[in-house]
Chain A
Amino acid sequence: MGYDVKIERNLLHALFDLKGSVEDVSSYLKEHIGSIPVEPNSYVTYGNLRVLYLGINHWILLAPIDEEQKLLELLKPEFCPASISIVLISDTLKFFRINGANADDIMAVASPLNLNADAFTNNSATFSEVFGLKALIMRHGDGYQFGIDQSFGDMISDYLDLTMAR
């Protein structure tokens, strides 16, 4: 008996790593995109763009990969205030999307994160583990999407196959 899931593999997103004080990052992003999320490990959405609050003084801006150039021109990392840093990191993470009736079962094998709906809500996003690797996890449709260091993309793909074959 197999798992009822659909997996999309090794996807790329436009990713910008933002660091700085809440005040400085908040005022720069407000000017260019919108308000930053307040709850730790949550995100806010602006169209097809998400601002994720992932650590003290750490945010990631996530968008479709074909928006990367547009965002570069909008955010102007090289001209941002000296008190914050904006770094393009799109090529550092590869994303996997797991959807379908058994998405929870696959994630329960892959990650120790508490993914119950009340603990990990629709606008949650956090770094945790997937198959022992640091991973950026969030919900996607009726399932999940997670990003891991790009060099482990093929390995994680194999692990998912092994998990589904059980």
Chain B
Amino acid sequence: MLLINCPFCKERNETEFVYGGPVGVDRPDPNAVADQEWVDFLTLVPNPTGPVFEKWWHARGCGEWFVICRDTVTHEILESPDEKS
């Protein structure tokens, strides 16, 4: 069970949250990049063994979207919105 640190509500049970996927690279201008780079943007999803930045939605809470850094091996949350600023 994860306890996730929401920027508004602080630590809450993971069941209150919806996983929003890993944070990808910024969307490139499809007209300005090579086809391969555009295809990579559309199809490659960050999937490291270790720390990954990912989006979470406090759906059954305050409704806020935020980014945490979670280690996919240990499930340890290495960085929460609180600690960033």
Partners in one complex: yes
**Which residues does A use to contact B, with CB under 8 Å?**
40-41, 54-56, 58, 112-114, 126-129, 132-135
**B contacts, CB < 8 Å to A:** 7-9, 11-13, 15-16, 59-64
What are the nearest 3 A-B pairs in CB distance?
A: A55-B62, A112-B13, A134-B60
Contact A128 B63 (CB under 8 A): no
Whether B8 lies near A128 (C-beta < 8 A) is no
CB nearest to A55 among chain B residues: B62
Q: Which residue from chain A places its CB closest to the CB of B60 in the assembled complex?
A: A134
**Contact between B59 and A134 (Cβ–Cβ < 8 Å)?**
yes
A112 contact from B7, B9, B16, B63, Cβ within 8 A? B16
Chain A residue numbers with a CB within 8 Å of B8 are 40-41, 55-56
Q: How far apart sit A108 and B16, CA to CA, in the bound complex (Å)?
A: 15
B59 contacts A40, C-beta separation under 8 Å: no
Question: Of B7, B11, B16, B63, which one neighbours A129 at CB under 8 angstroms?
Answer: B16
- Cross-interface CB contact of B61 among A114, A126, A132, A133, cutoff 8 Å: A126
**A–B complex contacts, Cβ < 8 Å, 11 sampled:** A54-B62, A56-B8, A56-B62, A56-B64, A58-B63, A112-B12, A112-B16, A127-B63, A128-B61, A129-B13, A134-B59
